[in-house]
Structure 1
Amino acid sequence: MAVTFLGVRHHSPACARLVADTIRSLRPAYVLVEGPAEMNHRMDELLLEHELPIAVYTSYRDSERRHGSWTPLCDYSPEWTALVAGRDVGAELRFIDLPAWHPALAGVRNRYADAEARYTEVTGRLCRTFDVDNVDALWDHLFEIEPAGGLAERLATYFDLVRGDTPAGPDDTAREAYMARWVRAAVADAGDRPVVVVTGGFHRPALVRLAGQGDRDWPEVPRPPVDAVVGSYLVPYSFRRLDAFDGYQSGMPSPGYYQRLWESGPAEAARGLTEAVTARLRARRQPVSTADLIAARATADGLASLRGHPHPARVDVLDGLASALVGEAIETPLPWAARGPLRAGSHPVIVEMVAALSGDRVGRLHPSTPLPPLVHAVLAVLGDPGEERLDLGSDAGRERSRLLHRLRVLRIPGVVRTSGPRPAGDAELTERWTLTEADDRLPALIEAGGYGVDPQEAAAAALAERIPGAGLDELAEVLFDTALCGIGDLTGQVLDDLTRAVEAAADLGELGRVLAVALAMWRHDDLFRTSGGATVGTVVRAATRRALWLAEGVRGGPAPADLRRVGAMTAVRDALRHAGASLGLDTPAALGVADRLAARRDAPPDLRGAALGLGWSLRGTAAADPARAVRGAFVPESAGDWLTGLFALAREEVLHTSGMLELLDDLVGEMTDHDFLVALPALRQAFGFFPPRERHLIATRLVERRTGGASGWDLMRLDAAPELVAAGRALDERVEAALRREGLITP
């Protein structure tokens, strides 16, 4: 019996309508659809009364790879209309593609992403022939806006042309061979009744050729490896996730528009698009007058007529709206003239237009839909929306914190920490969280269910996935997250990887971050309850030695202060101060490095200042004569950067050493106006290391020294912005220089 092969473009209303009409007309014995074959025994679940869009989410995890992919379906997906129409006529329904976890689909995150990239040359020629910007406009021109008559023949011609003799890669070849086996078996079993096959148009020519070659036995669904963890679940989807402008390379962008096209036809879709854009702009207080709308409609109608469209197409309406609503020059190309996410710098009105096209529809699963164990485990304990304050000194507070951190690591929406322990500094015993409702929480939980059956197992798997190939910064974050999540087993693995990375580290800033995290975990083991304190100590020792070695090798002249580098020296100071005796750190050797580095004129100013501060903070004094040490190291052109390093490590020592503020005041006062203005931004950064209370103390002492009275607040509460004061001083200096040059004043 003849087989009807319908090659479609995924998420195309025209194709969806053709598929439904064909199936209802032929009433086939089998409807075969490109989709994950492992879902065939769950077809009843898929066809429950869900509110589309939805997707089949499949997760795969073994010892070597982790993969997640989606098979999205909306009202106007040809695959969905094939299933619905096939059920209505009593046909047997089968998905015929390889399972989503199969290696042939290892690089596919969205099964229904179309294959234009594989035949760009052909589609490019067609775009030039029909004088359109891209394949989306070409598709609308050829199929969505044109009358439906002869659509099947036109689609077949189109896909035969665009694929041509293009050889498929090994992955597509494997998929097509597998789908062809289903076709042959269905034809053999159908007898005299027809069979309808619905696949992406790219695959249609190959399936037509392969349908008559080979055995006719039903193929088995491949089984995953024994050690693999695989799960497939239905998830609510959204138009935003479907939209090509949001990064999803589906067959069609602007799902909100195509939903209207599916429901009401091209004329009503064009009208609805204009109304949606107008409503969105007006809701954001953007002026859209009746005259603007008349102009947009007239332009769209004119463009449609010029382009040979019986009704305005999507790009006709958008071009009309852009011409009427955007009055100034546009720096970036119109987004519907290309594919992919919106470019940075897009005009705000254009951004809102694209958002209006996308639509805000979010799918909803039928209450009977099975959900992974993780969803039930989380929803049972998550609690109501609101603010939470946790006492980390109590067992109950720590357990609640660990649950919320596990959800944070899994990127569950609506779970946000606003304060709590940080990698550096003293441990905080209070943590604050904000829990809010989120439409995309359920999809995120379902997708996270691929990591494990409960929050602890899932978070551990998600963290383990971040380790391979991670740099020092990422490993440090994973290490701290494992502590916050209370996942001791993973900590050992991270620590081993971290220790090896520390010993080979070449970036002082990254190494400082690792040292700060490891030191925090070592110091506050009673809070984090991390296992293997001795191993954490090994990381602290290795990172401290490596950081000092790297710091002594840094060279470079005056440059903006590197705060990550300064932070690394701060972490070294804290390690020596808090863990030096317990971990056997060589403090005398560290002081020797600090002294040598502070005296090196070829070292960066911030690092020299930090080295002086390191020795000062550990010894309690900069040298036998601290004033002499500071005066000898102070260089006007790099004063701000040098002080940044000094204040970061020895702020309190500077503040409470007799005569030191006065010395610094003299040194800054001796700077020329030019040097001071150049150094001002860096000086502001340096003094930013003092908290407000200490800045007030500094201001009070300077005011008393300079004026003998008044309040320190007078220096801290300027009537003008500091930038304006600096600009005024620069102007005064230029005027004074011009007057001296012309002999109008004497030096």
Structure 2
Amino acid sequence: MTVTFLGVRHHSPACARLVADTIRSVRPAYVLVEGPADMNHRMDELLLGHELPIAVYTSYRDPERRHGSWTPLCDYSPEWTALTAGHEAGAELRFIDLPAWHPALADVRNRYADAEARYSEVTGRLCRTFAVDNVDALWDHLFEIEPDDGLAERLATYFELVRGDTRAGPDDLAREAYMAQWVRAAVADAGDRPVVVVTGGFHRPALIRLAEQGDRSWPEMPEPPAEATVGSYLVPYSFQRLDAFDGYQSGMPSPGYYQHLWESGPADAARGLTERVTARLRARRQPVSTADLIAARATADGLALMRGHPHPARVDVLDGLAGALVSEAIETPLPWAARGPLRAGSHPVIVEMIAALSGDRVGRLHRSTPLPPLVHAVLAVLGGPGEERLDLGEEADRERSRLLHRLRVLRIPGVARTSGPRPAGGTELVERWSLTDSDDRLPALIEAGGYGVDPQEAAAAALAERIRGADLDQLADVLFDTALCGIGELTGQVLDDLARAVGAAVDLGPLGRTLTVALAMWRHDHLFRTSGSTTVGTIVRAATRRALWLAEGVRGGPAPADLPRINAVMAVRDALRHAGASLGLDRDAALGVADRLAASQEAPPDLRGASLGLGWSLRGTAAADPARAVRGAFVPASAGDWLAGLFALAREEVLHTDGMLELLDELVGGMTDHEFLVALPALRQAFGFFPPRERHLIATRLVERRAGGASGWDLMRLDAAPDLVAAGMALDERVEAALRREGLITS
């Protein structure tokens, strides 16, 4: 009996060649591969003849959480060559890792992104020893461009060194114990025939040790919780999603380059990389001369020779291209000197170089591949590309709109709304949509299938997840999306999550926006069938109470009027007016808060004015004596901000209360020139709450009071910008002060 443990780096052409060559050489009884064991009974599906890259996508959903993860495979993945070479050799193929939904993998979004961060200290020392920038350059230096002679021994030494005394966490221990039991069982069943085990190099030392003794029976397959929904499907993947420069954290960056390396070897890959970069830059009208190419290749060859490479490695070619094609100073580090996404501000030529390395390959599934029900449900009704105009007054168009909104909520590519109803906007009965083809649509639909079997169920689950993760500023949009999707009542845990989000609000402005949208939906959204909704009513009630509580705690001196805060008080007023009786809102408690805030010198001016307006609009009077209340609250230094709050909440009451405009004219007219200039921008904002017709009425009444028969329109028309007028008035005031100071005027 012989067990060959091959520790690999995921998505490494050198490891993929080693795995395939080893399996062809030893012709094992079993090939055991790090991968989701719950896919073993579907191995034939995996080997149908897909165009790689592809991935196994697993979705998990229970009442508490949803989790999605991927097991990606490309032509040069060692796991893939283990399966294909093992199949050709007649071996039994088994994935031996825990299923992706298992708690040990609960934080793993990508099964093959699980190792390098653990031993960064060791690889850091190796990078310094070999004078390379990062682990990718180190890997190329040690393995990818070196001859394959002795590769297995070098890999084993490398992974023994990097694992060293690293303490594995409980999740790793659980995975390694499970994989080791598969190894022991396969060895027992194979008898004298060999077994090949292919796993990430991090796990290899532990598996060698654990495989020596223990239970030799086949491990049981873990079962998900009874209340959980779990599904695994093959999905098309892309080089872009594999690329470390796009955020992928395992295996190799620049998958297009490594595909060429896998197919043609390091020398051809270097030449091909230069050609692809040149073609891409020229296609974007970037000048690349023959002399530039000669200089880039000469530099790359010189760097390879200096670094001890038998052929130019990826970083040699990139450094050579950067030196030849970028003549300006580069403000950000070269991206191949580190891992992770490109930084903002990267040079445009560098960005195009990275894109050329990434490649644009997109995988395709074999036509016989099983797909989740959601895919069939959507593709049967979605239709082809084009523009659609939907009349929401028609039931058929309204149902089509709901379908498209469900796909939009599920983030299906190629489905975009260009116009239509907006949260708290006016009634709009026409929607326009743009439908386009997208290579990413099928993967997105397969992944969205984890939410449900049809668009309505899937969108409802996606919206529930958004509600749980939304901050208060996003909650109004989520509520409106729920209406657009026609999901209907959300109850149970989702309703609790909504109420909890509102109850935990700490910012009055976003809470007011949520209340505004929810109240509009509860009052009169017959179009989307939310009028009178119990769920939305619950949100209105909770948001009104929370807003009053938050408002009473706001403190602050003079400051620019906060329009979101004023709008929140307006939303409270409208809720009390239009839903108070139906939803059991406490009007007397709200009036008490309004009166206390209106009289508080610690509250900001805009909130004091809005609170006075709230009490005035709900009672029909500003306490017993409106004029006295206004006169007592008016402070010249903050007059504009205070009036903004008052006008927003009680515009009509101010306009139609006898003597109120005249009182305000008296108060504003009594301000000094300096006080007026300081207050002018805020005063303009405050009077902006009056529509044009009412501003004309105010102007007419003031003209009658001050100038007899002049026209009110003349006060509303300025030939110059208001800020220029204010600057001119300030200049006049300074000139007059200087003249008085010098005794040139005395009156």
Residues 290, 664 of structure 1: CA spacing in aligned structure 2 closer, same or farther, 3 A cutoff?
A: farther
Matches within 5 A, 1:114-193: 114-193=114-193
Matched, 1:408 2:408: yes
Structure 2 gaps of 5+ residues are: none
The AA in structure 2 aligned to 1:607 is L
| Number of the residue aligned with 1:275 | 275
Q: 1:671-686, aligned counterparts within 5 Å?
A: 676=677, 680=681
Preserved contact between residue 668 and residue 676 of structure 1 (Cα < 8 Å): no
Hey, what does 1:363 align to over in structure 2? 363
- Change in Cα spacing, 1:450 to 1:623, as seen in structure 2 (3 Å) is same
- State the shift of 1:163 in Å: 0.5
Per-residue CA distance 1:151-183 (angstroms, 9 max, x = gap): 111111100110112232222222222222222
Instruction: Identify if the C-alpha distance between structure 1 residues 326 and 683 changes in structure 2 by more than 3 Å, giving closer, same or farther.
Output: farther
Partner SS for 1:526: coil
Residues 598-649 of structure 1, C-alpha deviation per residue, up to 9 Å, x if partnerless?
Answer: 4444322332343344456556777899898778766565566445545544
Q: 1:6-17 maps to which residues of 2 (within 5 A)?
A: 6-17=6-17
Q: Which shows bigger deviation, 296-305 or 307-316?
A: 296-305
CA contact (8 A) 1:662 1:702 kept: no
State the identity %. 83
Q: 1:175 to 1:616 in 2, by over 3 A?
A: same
Contact 1:56–1:71 under 8 Å retained in 2: yes
SS in 1 for 2:71: strand
Secondary structure of the corresponding residue to residue 433 of structure 2: strand
**Partner residue, 1:203:** 203
Matching residue's letter, 2:374: L
Matched residues, number: 742
Larger displacement relative to structure 2 (300-309 or 155-164): 300-309
**Aligned equivalent of 1:392:** 392
| Counterpart Cα distance in 1 of 2:161 and 2:266 | 26
Q: Distance in 2 between matches of 1:288 and 1:731?
A: 59
Structure 1: where are the runs of 5+ without partners?
none
Contact 2:67–2:106 under 8 Å retained in 1: yes
CA contact (8 A) 2:636 2:679 kept: no
Tell whether the 8 Å contact from 1:638 to 1:679 is kept in structure 2 after alignment. Answer: no
SS at match of 1:528: coil
Give the CA deviation at 1:405: 2.5
- What is the rounded CA distance, in whole Å, between the counterparts of 1:684 and 1:284 in structure 2? 50
CA contact (8 A) 1:488 1:531 kept: no
Contact 1:699 1:715 in 2 (8 A): no
Alpha-carbon distance change, 736 to 293 in structure 1, aligned in 2, over 3 angstroms: farther
1:101 paired with 2:95, answer no
Which deviates more, 503-512 or 332-341?
Answer: 503-512
Question: Displacement of 1:11 after TM fit?
Answer: 0.7
Aligned partners of 2:674, 2:438: CA distance in 1, in Å?
55
CA contact (8 A) 2:31 2:92 kept: yes
Matches within 5 A, 1:80-99: 80-99=80-99
Deviation at 1:83, TM superposition (A): 1.6
Gap change, CA 1:75 and 1:542, over 3 Å in 2:
closer
Counterpart mapping for 1:464-503 below 5 A: 464-468=464-468, 471-473=471-473, 476-491=476-491, 493-499=493-499, 502-503=502-503
Q: Which residue of 2 aligns with 1:524?
A: 524
Shift of 1:428: 4.0
Q: Distance in 1 between matches of 2:155 and 2:703?
A: 83
How far residue 70 of structure 1 moved from its aligned partner, in angstroms, is 0.3
In structure 2, the partner of 1:435 is 435
Aligned match of 1:515: 515
- Deviation digits for residues 271-296 of structure 1 (CA, Å, limit 9, x no counterpart): 33333334444444444444444443
Task: Name the counterpart of 2:241.
Answer: 241
The amino acid across from 2:39 in the alignment is: M
Structure 1 pair 305–535 and aligned structure 2 pair: CA distance change class (3 A): closer
Secondary structure of the 2:368 match is: coil
Per-residue deviation, residues 645-686 of structure 1 (Å, max 9, x unmatched):
455445677789999599689959977679848975x67866
1:18 counterpart letter in structure 2: L
Report what 1:33 is aligned to: 33
SS at match of 2:7: strand
CA–CA distance in structure 2, aligned partners of residues 629 and 659 of structure 1: 11
What pairs with 1:507-656 in structure 2 (closer than 5 Å)? 507-524=507-524, 526-530=526-530, 533-534=533-534, 536-583=536-583, 585-587=585-587, 590-591=590-591, 593-615=593-615, 618=618, 638=638, 641-642=641-642, 644-646=644-646, 648-649=648-649
Contact kept in structure 2, 1:703 and 1:711, CA below 8 Å: no
Q: How far 1:228 sits from its partner (Å)? A: 2.4
What is the match of residue 72 of structure 2? 72
TM-score norm. by structure 1 comes to 0.86
- Alpha-carbon deviation of 1:523? 0.4
How far the C-alpha of 1:72 sits from its partner, in A, is 0.3
Counterpart position of 1:301: 301
* 1:479 and 1:495 in contact (8 A); partners too: no
Note if contact 2:116-2:250 (Cα within 8 Å) is conserved in structure 1: no
Query: Could you tell me which residue of structure 1 aligns to residue 232 of structure 2?
Result: 232
Alpha carbons of 1:599 and 1:65: their partners in 2 closer, same or farther (altered >3 Å)?
closer
The secondary structure found in structure 1 opposite 2:389 is strand
CA distance in 1, matches of 2:274, 2:630: 69
SS of 1:137 mapped into structure 2? helix
Distance change >3 Å, CA 691–CA 80, structure 1 → 2:
farther
Structure-1 residue corresponding to 2:253: 253
Encode CA deviations 1:28-76: one digit per residue, 9 max, x unaligned: 3322211111212222211122121110001122233322110001111
Q: CA shift at 1:349, angstroms?
A: 3.6
- Residues 637 and 679 in structure 1, CA contact (< 8 A), matched pair in contact too: no
Secondary structure of the 1:367 match is: coil
Q: 1:186, 1:495 → 2: CA distance?
A: 50
SS of structure 1 residue aligned to 2:363:
coil
Any conservation in 1 of the 2:182–2:218 contact (CA below 8 Å)? yes
Tell me whether 1:212 sits opposite 2:212 in the alignment. yes
